[in-house]
Amino acid sequence: MKKFYCILTLLISFSFASTYAQAHKPAAKAPAGGLSASVAAGKKVYTLYCLTCHQADGGGVPNMNPPLIKTSYVLGDKNKIIKIVLKGFNENVEINGDTYTNVMPPQATLTDQEIADVLTYVRNSFGNKAAAIKSADVKKVRTSLK
């Protein structure tokens, strides 16, 4: 009888241990080259090529450089936003009641990958949430503009 209890306690503690281990498994890491990698690379491009005008928080400068926070451009059609970076922008945009008359110079010297990363970063920062942009998307727009 004593032996029986001994085995029972052993079994119970073993099953507790295994359920505990299962519940506390570390979460699987995001695969390399996924969204987080593109966002991290894009942040570096943003700091070098966009931050002076659009600011670190994407808030822009009122009546000079528009914000990149939940605008129809940032969250909208990816081809349009790719074109803005490749060709620059001069359309006097109106955002939240402010008009922006400054001209955005083209950033076409950036590679397809850099543009994809920076736009993926912008579309997933500053409170934005939109699909990633791939270098193949940029390549397509670049070719169509030639």
- Interface residues with ligand HEC (CB under 6 A) are 49-50, 52-54, 65-68, 71, 73-74, 81, 84-85, 89-93, 95, 100, 102-105, 107, 118, 122
Query: Smallest distance, Å, CB 64 to ligand HEC?
Result: 7
**Of 36 and 107, CB closest to ligand HEC:** 107
| Host H or E run for residue 75 | helix 72-75
Are 127 and 69 contacting, i.e. CB atoms less than 8 angstroms apart?
A: yes
Through-space distance between the first and last CA atoms of the chain, rounded to whole angstroms = 87
Q: Which is nearer to ligand HEC, 9 or 72 (CB)?
A: 72
Q: Shortest Cβ distance from residue 72 to ligand HEC (Å)?
A: 7
**Residue 70 or 140 with smaller CB distance to ligand HEC:** 70
Residues whose CB is less than 8 angstroms from the CB of residue 76 and which lie 6 or more positions away in sequence, other chains included:
none
Residues 112, 45: Cα–Cα separation, whole Å? 12
Which of 49/134 has CB closer to ligand HEC? 49
Question: From the CB of 35, what's the least distance to ligand HEC, in Å?
Answer: 17
The least distance separating ligand HEC from the CB of residue 131, rounded to whole angstroms, comes to: 15
Nearest-angstrom CA–CA distance, 70 and 58: 10
Cβ atoms of 117 and 35 closer than 8 Å: no
